[in-house]
Amino acid sequence: MILGGEIGRAAASLFAQEGASLILADLSLEAAEATAHAISDQSQRIVSTQVDITDIESVDAMVDLCAREFNRLDCAFNNAGINLAADVEWELEAFDRSMTVNANGTMYCMTAESKLMLAAGKGSIVNNASANGIVGSTRQPGYSASKHAVVGLTKTAAIRWAKLGIRVNAVCPSSVQTPMTERSMALSPELRTHLMSMSPMGRLATPDEVAEAAMWLCSDRASFINGVALPVDGGFTAG
């Protein structure tokens, strides 16, 4: 499981409560270790590691560690990514950064993870895309394009590996209620109005709600769900 913020921590806790042994990977080893410590009483076993998903060697090392520690990988939640400020998103350097982290990083993770799963003849991969991977955004071209790429990669991998025992799906949340989001909305009433208007339910998603969707897709309870980009958006993409 690749952490990355509040959703990653919520997912780690939820998977641990279900009895999973975990590889927790983050760009910050300290963040991974802090999450591992916080949920240590809930999981059978937790291993923390540092990973840079833009570096294929770093991603391969993460999966090699999983192979050494557990000798298998049943499921993977690829959650790491970046969401740059809207006022820089039209700059080409920012666009390239979004594509490198969100699209390339997801591709690197799926490729490495699939090696263990293909060897076992089974597995489930869930990528964190976005509601902006389903609909466009005038504010964030790099983020939207990169998350559309994650959805496309998800569907393509799902087809490629379907008969080999691997399912690949994506969760597509709208704005999520995190401390960072709350601080941003407190500084900008216009941003609060914009984010709240995106959901017919009139509120943001919680990290736990996104984590629940990811865990379901990873589990055998979703055994015939493959290639789906599942909105977790309060109805935003339905309109």
On whether residue 184 sits in a domain, the answer given is no
For residue 183, the tally of other CB atoms under 10 A from its CB is 10
* Confidence label for 4 from pLDDT (cuts 50, 70 and 90): low
What DSSP letter does each residue of 2-71 carry, written as one string?
Answer: B--HHHHHHHHHHHHHTT--EEEEESSHHHHHHHHHHTTTTSS-EEEEE--TT-HHHHHHHHHHHHHHHS
On whether residue 216 sits in a domain, the answer given is yes
132-171 exposure pattern, b = at least 16 Cβ within 10 A, e = fewer: bbbbebeebbbbbbbbbbbbebbbebbeebeeeebbbbbb
Q: What is the pLDDT of residue 168?
A: 98
Q: Assess whether 143 carries a catalytic annotation.
A: yes
113-145 residue pLDDT tens: 999 999 999 999 999 999 999 998 877 899 999
Q: Which of 143, 147, 185, 232 is catalytic?
A: 143
Domain with 14 in it: what CATH number? 3.40.50.720
Whole-prediction pTM value?
A: 0.93
* Confidence label for 174 from pLDDT (cuts 50, 70 and 90): confident
For a pLDDT cut of 90, what percent of the chain falls above it?
Answer: 74
Domain range enclosing 31: 5-176+206-232
On whether residue 66 sits in a domain, the answer given is yes
Number of compact structural domains in the chain: 1
Q: Is 127 exposed, middle or buried (0-12, 13-18, 19+ CB in 10 A)?
A: buried
On whether residue 92 sits in a domain, the answer given is yes
Task: Indicate if the alpha-carbon torsion angle 232, 32, 56, 167 is positive or negative.
Answer: negative
For a pLDDT cut of 70, what percent of the chain falls above it?
Answer: 97
Q: Give yes or no for residue 186 having a pLDDT over 70.
A: yes
pLDDT, greater one: 174 or 50: 50
On whether residue 190 sits in a domain, the answer given is no
pLDDT, greater one: 51 or 5: 51
